[in-house]
């Protein structure tokens, strides 16, 4: 029996029905018929394809495997058609780090395999939401620029110029993180699940329940003692914000949300997928802006 679920019953039922009927929950992957100067890349998650597009621009053809809202990459089961589709592109980009490890079995054949966990030197037991980590995202962007330059040497300068623009946008994000550390260093907050933790850890804020949140994500069962301590922190208004992944639900989380409402603790929602219409750096900036507002509200 699982204590935590990542979608409501209606979504889960719909997915089970779709699977029973053989309906795909991911975007159909067509064989890319790109122009001679275009490189093709398949990504598991939308967020990584967004980073790739910012580097590759019009010289890169991208497709995303998982596009259904609320679909959890942790537990997705690939179909045989996905196996075939990987061999039809130049590169396959995955998050890795246990987040989409079912995709690691695709690392074979002629398609180049790009793993963010390997690029970012992820270690076992760490938070797998690597796309919330600016340093890892930058490392992946650099790797993509180099890889694209190897696949299409005639466009190498184009890729490097795009990389420089991307890195400049990270400098703007760093300025906002510096401001956070100046204003809120050591201020305690709590998080219901690790989505966003890598970004939040750079703000100088103190995450008081990292182990509890990791247990939620891994579905290993949360400690009763840690749960009681977390609830007490909310009841005594010792935290300045509660960070919530809206996809993850449980009895314990629902109780925390009720307590936060009673004690007027601000909530900040952080989802796991890139919001439509936003670039990666815009998404990160939006999260920080929401957190700014929440912390000012609590003060």
- pLDDT per position as a tens digit, 60-78: 999 998 876 666 676 677 6
Using a 10 angstrom Cβ sphere, with 0-12 exposed, 13-18 middle and 19 or more buried, the burial of residue 81 is exposed
Same domain, yes or no: 155 and 187: no
Q: Report the share of the chain in percent with pLDDT over 90.
A: 70
pLDDT value of residue 79:
72
| Predicted model pTM | 0.85
Same domain, yes or no: 166 and 180: no
Of residues 57 and 13, more confidence is placed in 57
Question: How many C-beta atoms surround the C-beta of residue 156 within 10 A?
Answer: 15
Among 254, 224, 260, 225, residue whose Cα is nearest residue 241:
260
Note down the domain range covering 182. 175-298
**Within a domain: 184:** yes
Residues 6+ apart with CB under 8 A from 96: 103, 104, 115, 116, 117, 118, 122, 128, 130
Same domain, yes or no: 161 and 187: no
Same domain, yes or no: 182 and 142: no
Query: Do 86 and 103 contact (CB within 8 A), yes or no?
Result: no
**Within a domain: 243:** yes
**Within a domain: 1:** no
Give, rounded to a whole angstrom, the gap between the first and last alpha carbons of the chain.
41
State the Cα–Cα distance between residues 142 and 147, nearest whole angstrom. Answer: 9
| pLDDT digit string, tens, across residues 121-159 | 999 989 999 999 999 999 999 999 999 999 999 999 999
Same domain, yes or no: 17 and 165: yes
Same domain, yes or no: 90 and 111: yes
State the Cα–Cα distance between residues 240 and 288, nearest whole angstrom. Answer: 14
Q: In the predicted model, is pLDDT for residue 4 greater than 50?
A: no
Residues 6+ apart with CB under 8 A from 242: 189, 190, 191, 192, 234, 256, 257, 260, 265, 266, 267, 268
Q: Band of the pLDDT at 195, cuts 50, 70, 90?
A: very high
pLDDT value of residue 22:
41
**Within a domain: 146:** yes
Residues 6+ apart with CB under 8 A from 3: 219, 221, 222, 250, 251, 252
Backbone angles phi, psi at 166, to 5 degrees: -65, -45
Same domain, yes or no: 198 and 163: no
Last residue of a domain, one of 170, 195, 226: 170
Last residue of a domain, one of 170, 197, 228: 170
Domain of residue 265, CATH code: 3.40.50.1980
Q: Going by DSSP bridges, is the β-strand pair 39-43/112-115 parallel, antiparallel, or unpaired?
A: unpaired
**Within a domain: 2:** no
| pLDDT digit string, tens, across residues 49-61 | 999 999 999 999 9
Q: Band of the pLDDT at 1, cuts 50, 70, 90?
A: very low
Give the number of domains in the chain. 2
Q: Band of the pLDDT at 21, cuts 50, 70, 90?
A: very low
**Within a domain: 19:** yes
Same domain, yes or no: 205 and 135: no
């Amino acid at each position: 029996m699982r204590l935590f679920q990542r979608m409501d019953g209606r979504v889960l039922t719909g997915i089970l029905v779709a699977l029973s009927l053989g309906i795909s929950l991911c975007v159909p992957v067509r064989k890319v018929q790109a122009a001679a100067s275009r490189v093709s890349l398949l990504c598991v998650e939308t967020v990584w394809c967004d980073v790739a597009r910012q580097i590759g621009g019009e010289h890169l053809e991208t497709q995303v495997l998982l596009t259904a809202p609320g679909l959890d990459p942790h537990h997705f089961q690939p179909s045989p058609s996905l196996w075939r589709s990987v061999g039809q592109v130049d590169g396959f980009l995955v998050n890795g780090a246990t987040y989409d490890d079912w995709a690691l079995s695709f690392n074979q054949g002629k398609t180049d395999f790009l793993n963010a966990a390997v690029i970012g030197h992820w270690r076992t037991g760490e938070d797998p939401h690597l796309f919330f980590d600016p340093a890892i995202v930058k490392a992946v962007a650099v790797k993509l620029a180099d890889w694209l330059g190897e696949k299409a040497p005639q466009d190498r300068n184009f890729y490097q110029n795009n990389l420089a623009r991307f890195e400049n946008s990270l400098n703007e994000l760093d300025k906002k993180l510096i401001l956070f550390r100046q204003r809120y260093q050591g201020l305690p907050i709590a998080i219901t699940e690790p989505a966003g933790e890598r970004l939040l850890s750079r703000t100088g804020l103190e995450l008081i329940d990292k182990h509890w949140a990791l247990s939620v994500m891994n579905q290993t069962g949360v400690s009763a003692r840690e749960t009681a301590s977390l609830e007490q922190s909310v009841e005594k208004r010792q935290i300045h914000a509660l960070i919530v992944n809206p996809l993850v639900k449980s009895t314990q989380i629902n109780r925390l949300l009720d307590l936060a409402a009673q004690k007027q603790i601000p909530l900040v929602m952080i989802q796991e997928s890139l919001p439509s219409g936003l670039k990666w750096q815009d998404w990160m900036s939006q999260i920080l802006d929401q957190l700014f507002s929440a912390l000012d509200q609590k003060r």
